[in-house]
Amino acid sequence: STDEDRVRVLSAMLSTPRVDEYAKVLDFLTSGEVKRQDIQLFIVGAGNPYVRDLNIKWLISNYKLFIEAYGDPGVLSRVFTYAIPMIGIGHEREVEDFLRSLNIPGVGMGVEAGLELLRVYSRVANSLGQ
């Protein structure tokens, strides 16, 4: 279907190692040219190690878009659970300070799960010398 094709294309675009191209994809996700709900595809890009710095800055600036797109904080909580462990590596203090400063009912479990996994992933990355 057209929706499935759109999701496949956007997911592939979020896999680019080029920061400039990736930034354009994030802009596209928020441009209104695709469905607002497609913003959740940010999780796909969270696994892209080449754009970690851009992802954390983008999420800190745009986290409210997830609530606006879905009307409740449930998706944002899942984004924190799945994205923070990947994009927070190397930015642990900044990420924790940001997440702890949020006062959004319904995201606590995602914040805690994301931070717990970030601690684990960071230890692994440090032990591998990354």
**Domain layout of the chain by residue ranges:** 2-127
Predicted TM-score (pTM) of the model is: 0.88
pLDDT of residue 130: 67
pLDDT of residue 22: 95
- For residue 60, what are the CA distances in angstroms to 8, 75, 85? 25, 15, 14
Count Cβ atoms below 10 Å from residue 104 Cβ, excluding itself.
15
Kindly give the interhelix angle for 2-13 and 19-29, rounded to the nearest 10 degrees.
Answer: 150
Per residue of the chain (130 residues), give pLDDT as tens.
688 888 899 899 999 999 999 999 999 999 988 888 888 899 999 999 999 999 999 999 999 999 998 888 999 999 999 999 999 999 999 999 999 999 999 999 999 999 999 999 999 998 998 6
pLDDT of residue 27: 93
Q: How far apart are CA 4 and CA 71, in angstroms?
A: 23
pLDDT of residue 33: 87
Q: Do 89 and 121 touch, CB atoms closer than 8 A? A: yes
